[in-house]
Amino acid sequence: MNVSSLRLSFGKRIRELRTQAGLSQEDLAESAQISVDFVSLIERGVNAPSFETLERLCAALGVAARDLFDF
Q: Where exactly are the structural domains of the chain?
A: 3-68
* pLDDT band at residue 18 under the 50/70/90 scheme: very high
What sign for the dihedral angle of Cα 22, 31, 24, 7? negative
pLDDT of residue 1: 77
pLDDT of residue 3: 84
Task: Tell me how far the alpha carbon of residue 40 is from its chain's centroid.
Answer: 9
In degrees, rounded to 5, the angle at the alpha carbon of residue 19 between the alpha carbons of residues 53 and 29 is 35
pLDDT of residue 5: 93
pTM: 0.93
Other CB atoms within 10 A of residue 42 CB: 24
- Residues 42-59: what's their mean pLDDT? 97
Q: Which fold has domain 3-68?
A: 434 Repressor (Amino-terminal Domain) (1.10.260)
CB 70 within 8 A of CB 61: no
